[in-house]
């Protein structure tokens, strides 16, 4: 059984704040400052260039990749860190499209995080606009899978509503139609159990600053199925993905396995913080995290629906269909969220009317949920969001 009291004690949580935005940026692991100080003073400061070997900097992308692999149903050697999620989406998509040269459709959905769509749009333009990006509503995606689809590219958990796709069923349907599949795990990794191997996924990407708590700007990760990794051409073919980076050959030769998906110099300082965050994950079982996440979300929904009739649930009511967040529609969601933040309940607002609250069992418990409900109820019952400033702005527009 995961000891969530112990994991909560491993994070710095500001006094008087109930932090329900770990789905956007996780909090500071208490061990991170000391780990970072060691990396700065003892590694960079004392070892300088020799830190690449002596401090193991060069191996960080795969070493930490292995630690994340455990949380997403992948094996050692299947995941490597680097770049940002946008870049990793591009790399996976460009690489995958080459594996389906006769097909012209990239199928995603209108619930995907915009940067995934933007990167696809940019790639399509570079490739001469021969491909088409389709973005039906999330519920209709399955109906659009057919033999024109080269790649199905989806984010498992909708960043606004928390609605969760059926990874296994959609992957199977795409494979049956001969398409490849890329899953974006931005709101999945560390939020719920993911079974990349069991779902037979081709590519997956994700970030490490949300539920994984790696800190602002922590690097992304990429997974490539073992059946593809020795044949895929990494479209972003950088020197650290080369078979022999320090031979300085003029021509590119892919490295072995997942290492080929590396591109440039890894962000060593970001890794120092991320390593501290991953130590917390060693104490956690994803099944326990999921059970508690659903309980916290259910408790929150029940409390809010009882006390705040103006907030309309935007997330699936069935916990099995949700990620680890709860969202509500409210016309005045923006000022309402401002009012909550001013009172120490940190969630966020997403256009046009979504108030979003993330629940992260590693450091959020039932007491936090109840305290948040009380503050939200107070703000809503007493219209504390309807400030003079907001009234004025509504009059103007």
Annotated catalytic residue 356: yes
List the interface residues with a copy of itself, window 62-101 (CB under 8 A).
Answer: 83-87, 90, 94, 98
Measured distance CA(109)–CA(141) in Å, rounded: 7
Minimal distance, residue 45 CB to a copy of itself, in Å: 4
Stretch touching a copy of itself by CB under 8 A, among 47-55, 68-76, 294-302, 370-378: 47-55
Measured distance CA(160)–CA(173) in Å, rounded: 25
Site string for a copy of itself, 95-114 (x = CB under 8 A): ---x-----------x--xx
Report which DSSP code applies to 147.
T
Catalytic option among 11, 19, 90, 113:
113
Which residue in 127, 137, 256, 287 binds a copy of itself (CB under 8 A)? 127
List the interface residues with a copy of itself, window 135-164 (CB under 8 A).
Answer: 135
Classify the C-alpha dihedral 172-210-218-213 as positive or negative. Answer: negative
Annotated catalytic residue 70: no
* Binding flag, residue 1, a copy of itself (CB under 8 A): no
> Residue 255: how many CB atoms within 10 A of its CB?
19
Q: Answer yes or no: are the C-beta atoms of 72 and 79 closer than 8 Å.
A: yes
Annotated catalytic residue 211: no
* Binding flag, residue 237, a copy of itself (CB under 8 A): yes
Q: Answer yes or no: are the C-beta atoms of 189 and 380 closer than 8 Å.
A: no
DSSP alpha helix (H) spans, 220-363: 226-229, 268-281, 286-307, 333-342
Annotated catalytic residue 209: yes
Residue by residue, DSSP assigns 102-116 as T--EEE--TTS-HHH
Annotated catalytic residue 391: no
* Binding flag, residue 268, a copy of itself (CB under 8 A): yes
Q: Answer yes or no: are the C-beta atoms of 260 and 232 closer than 8 Å.
A: yes
Which residue in 45, 56, 198, 309 binds a copy of itself (CB under 8 A)? 45
* Binding flag, residue 334, a copy of itself (CB under 8 A): no
Minimal distance, residue 41 CB to a copy of itself, in Å: 6
Catalytically active residues are: 113, 184, 209-210, 356
């Amino acid at each position: 059984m995961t000891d969530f009291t112990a994991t909560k004690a491993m994070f710095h949580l500001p006094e008087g704040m109930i932090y329900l935005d770990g789905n956007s940026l996780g909090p500071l692991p208490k061990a991170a400052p000391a780990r970072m100080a060691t990396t700065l003073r003892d590694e960079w400061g004392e070892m300088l260039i020799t830190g690449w070997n002596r401090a193991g900097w060069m191996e960080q992308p795969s070493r930490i990749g292995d630690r994340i692999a455990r949380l997403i149903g992948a094996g050692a050697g299947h995941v490597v860190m680097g770049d940002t999620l946008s870049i990793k989406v591009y790399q996976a998509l460009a690489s995958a499209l080459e594996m389906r040269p006769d097909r012209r459709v990239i199928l995603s959905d209108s619930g995907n995080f915009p940067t995934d769509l933007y990167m696809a749009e940019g790639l399509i333009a570079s490739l001469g606009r021969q491909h088409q990006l389709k973005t039906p509503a999330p519920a209709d995606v399955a109906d659009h899978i057919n033999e024109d689809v080269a790649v199905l590219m989806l984010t498992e958990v909708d960043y606004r509503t928390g609605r969760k796709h059926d990874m296994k069923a959609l992957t199977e349907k795409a494979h049956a139609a001969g398409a490849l599949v890329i899953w974006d795990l931005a709101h999945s990794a560390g939020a719920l159990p993911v079974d990349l191997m069991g779902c037979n996924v081709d590519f997956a990407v994700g970030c490490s600053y949300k539920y994984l708590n790696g800190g602002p700007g922590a690097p992304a990760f990429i997974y490539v199925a073992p059946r593809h990794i020795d044949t895929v051409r990494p479209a972003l073919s950088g020197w650290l993905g080369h078979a022999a980076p320090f031979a300085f050959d003029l021509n590119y030769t892919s490295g072995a396995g997942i290492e080929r998906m590396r591109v440039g110099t890894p962000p060593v300082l970001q890794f120092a913080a991320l390593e501290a965050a991953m130590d917390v994950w060693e104490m956690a079982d994803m099944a326990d995290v999921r059970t508690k996440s659903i309980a916290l979300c259910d408790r929150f929904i029940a409390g809010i629906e009882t006390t705040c009739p103006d907030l309309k649930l935007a997330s699936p009511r069935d916990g099995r269909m949700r990620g680890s967040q709860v969202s509500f529609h409210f016309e005045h969601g923006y000022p309402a969220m401002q009012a909550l933040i001013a009172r120490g309940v940190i969630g966020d607002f997403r256009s046009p009317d979504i108030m979003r609250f993330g629940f992260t069992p590693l450091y959020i418990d039932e007491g936090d949920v109840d305290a948040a409900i009380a503050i939200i109820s107070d703000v809503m019952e007493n219209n504390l969001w309807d400030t003079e400033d907001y009234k004025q702005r509504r009059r103007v527009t």
